[in-house]
């Protein structure tokens, strides 16, 4: 009986380790802009992107999906110091201008390392066929602003959003 229990525990432990491989993470470190975070290994990072420091393309589950979920990282040196709340308000107003029919809006604050950030999440139609869920977080350290934005197909939000939130929690500014 004892051997059976030991075997059962070993089998369950092995299965739990196999499940961890489903969510294999890697650390991304950007020395030029002095930040890092974790990202899923099978998500493609593209550092050669216009208007962003990098883009992360989240693989489609179905080739016929109309929208490719993605993450953008923007870093900007500010000409003068600005507080986080002011920059965040500007960022929120830009979203309202772009997405006229924002719904399910939630906002909050958090800490990543020792740097506070503010975030907004919402849903919005891109067109009559595609609904998206977006989450954008803003950090300011000294005179540099960091913005991480994830835009995902609403149908995949339950899968992608928890992963993106883990990335946000891992974000570090050196």
pLDDT (tens digit per residue) in 72-125: 999 999 999 899 999 999 999 999 999 999 999 999 999 988 899 999 999 999
Mean pLDDT across 130-135: 95
Q: Specify the range with the lowest mean pLDDT, choosing from 1-10, 27-36, 49-58.
A: 1-10
C-alpha to C-alpha distances, 31 to 80, 85, 139, 174, nearest whole angstrom: 23, 27, 17, 9
Instruction: Using pLDDT thresholds of 50, 70 and 90, give the confidence band for residue 1.
Output: low
Does the pLDDT of residue 3 top 80, yes or no? no
Tell me how far CA of residue 169 lies from CA of 23, 112, 165, 174, in angstroms: 16, 5, 6, 15
Q: What is the pLDDT of residue 22?
A: 56
Question: What domains can be seen in the chain, in order of their start residue?
Answer: 24-173 (3.40.1000.10)
pTM: 0.84
Selection from 11, 71, 16 nearest residue 40 by Cα: 71
Is pLDDT at 61 greater than 60 in this prediction? yes
CB atoms inside a 10 Å sphere around CB 58? 23
Q: Residue 4 has what pLDDT?
A: 46
Rounded Cα gap, residues 73 and 147, in angstroms:
6
Query: What integer is the mean pLDDT of 43-51?
Result: 90
Q: What is the pLDDT of residue 125?
A: 95
List pLDDT tens digits, range 8-29.
444 444 444 444 445 699 999 9
Give, rounded to a whole angstrom, the gap between the first and last alpha carbons of the chain.
54
- Region 140-144: mean pLDDT is 93
Q: What whole-number percentage of the chain has pLDDT above 90?
A: 73
């Amino acid at each position: 009986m004892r051997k059976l229990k030991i075997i059962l525990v070993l089998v369950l432990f092995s299965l739990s380790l196999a499940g961890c491989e489903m969510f294999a993470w890697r650390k991304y470190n950007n020395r030029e802009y002095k930040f890092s975070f974790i990202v899923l290994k099978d998500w493609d990072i593209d550092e050669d992107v216009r208007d962003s420091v990098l883009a992360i393309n989240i693989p489609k589950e179905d080739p016929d999906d109309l929208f490719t979920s993605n993450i953008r990282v923007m870093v900007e040196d500010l000409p003068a110091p600005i507080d986080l709340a002011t920059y965040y308000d500007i960022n929120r107003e830009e979203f309202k201008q772009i997405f006229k029919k924002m719904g399910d809006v939630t906002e909050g604050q958090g800490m990543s390392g020792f740097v506070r950030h503010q975030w907004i999440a919402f849903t919005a139609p891109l067109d009559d066929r595609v609904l998206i869920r977006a989450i954008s977080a803003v950090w300011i350290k000294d005179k540099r602003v960091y913005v991480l934005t994830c835009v995902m197909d609403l149908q995949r939000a339950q899968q992608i959003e928890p992963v993106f939130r883990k990335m946000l929690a891992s974000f570090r500014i050196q």
